[in-house]
Structure 1
């Protein structure tokens, strides 16, 4: 079976840059320090407006946003970036635990979320997963499955002559399923490859994104490609 290998960092690779936006000073400083000890370059700001400015200036490889911030909140930052075509991975930090609140963050364009208080090891795992996903598709190959074409270098996907307008997470999910077309991928494996963390059996995170992807991939009248294998996972069918 073909699965994406996990990237291995080397000393020659430049340190990834991160914009961290958190209005609580103690949380911001401790999180910044922890990330810097992991050898990330961190630009820490106190609100959403400062985050937008820092992102425009520094073009980071990852953005970490607190959900509730003054001036411009995390959801608004997500929406502004995605509306502008910025696909930089976004991790939301939130003290809210309701599923609806998490879904709102995903709908706004966030790639992942982490509930406060969080363990640093879990934060690091989420960061590594999002950065690893950004590196997929660097070989310039196309994946072609019938009328579905995926440009891995350009990070674009097409169904017949129709371009699929996908978020970063939706593209990564489609890419993983297409790379393993015909093979049922289990929930645990998909969580590991896409999010770098298994949210557990009660999580709706994967199902939400499968729903988003299916709506864009399969318009009325088009052949169904993405299938659910109940209790196991998902498979993208070969033509």
Structure 2
């Protein structure tokens, strides 16, 4: 998956909490898809085979399926066909490394709603997902305010509050806080922070200093929200959480 060029000048469309199921047996690509779609405002579940995809569709009832064609137990075409046979009615976006017209025709004939050929850009992926959800009637205007415990982040004004206290953050501190917020209750590593805050890899000590500065502002008064998970990274957690 290609990163969006900084010169494209286009803001990717955002989700509003719709449930997406990603089915891909490539761990690296699956992680990238999960991170990208989660940051765009979607709830994302990931499985790595067709059998698990069928079970997950029954259990979580996703609003959209992002489905790789080549899977270890059955191909994506078969998964799509079985979902239709089971009465499932959800948009399906096929991912494939094959660009043959026959494959596209087969996928669309099997019930797929759209097709992306690898490698693809982040902007193209998000645009296709948004368009399919809009067509299915599951999009809504996203809230410009992110909330977690007594922490609020207004994405329009870029103002951050903890309770009634207004917190002044630098642009980099704001990006880090937002990244922690959209991944709340999950652990993010230093490498992930570097990738999403700076898009570069360098001395992890820089991340430690940035987290320390952010923690001094956000957690100036207890209870603390930003937690260090030793050996793994950092996590935004509610007071009293594990």
Q: TM-score, normalized by length of structure 1?
A: 0.51
**Alignment partner of 2:82 out of 80, 83, 95:** 80
One of 28, 31, 34 as aligned partner of 1:32:
34
Give the equivalent residue in structure 2 for 1:126. 128
Deviation at 1:14, TM superposition (A): 5.0
Q: In 2, Cα distance between the equivalents of 1:135 and 1:94?
A: 26
Q: Which runs of 5+ in 1 are unaligned?
A: 1-8, 137-239
Counterpart residue number, 2:62? 60
Quote the Cα distance in structure 2 between the aligned partners of 1:124 and 1:80.
26
Aligned pair 1:99/2:132, yes or no? no
State the Cα distance separating 1:86 from its structure 2 match: 1.2
Tell me which stretches of 4 or more aligned residues in structure 1 moved more than 6 Å: none
Q: Find the aligned partners of 1:19 and 1:113 in 2 and give their Cα distance.
A: 16
Aligned residues: 126
For structure 2, the residue ranges without an aligned partner over 5 or more in a row are 1-12, 139-242
Supply the distance in 2 between the matched residues of 1:84 and 1:58 (Cα, whole angstroms): 15
* Counterpart position of 1:42: 44
Q: Distance in 2 between matches of 1:134 and 1:35?
A: 18
Rounded to whole Å, the distance in 1 between the matches of 2:112 and 2:123 is 20
SS in 1 for 2:119: coil
Measured against aligned partners, the alpha-carbon deviations of 1:36-60 in whole angstroms (never above 9, x if no partner) come to 0001000001111111111110001
Q: Specify the alignment match of 1:159 in structure 2.
A: none
Indicate how the Cα distance of structure 1 residues 14 and 31 shifts in structure 2: closer, same or farther if over 3 A, else same. Answer: closer
Choose 1 or 2 for highest CA Rg.
Answer: 2
SS of structure 2 residue aligned to 1:31: helix
Distance 2:54 2:85 in 1: 13
CA shift at 1:85, angstroms?
2.0
Secondary structure of the residue aligned to 1:15 is coil
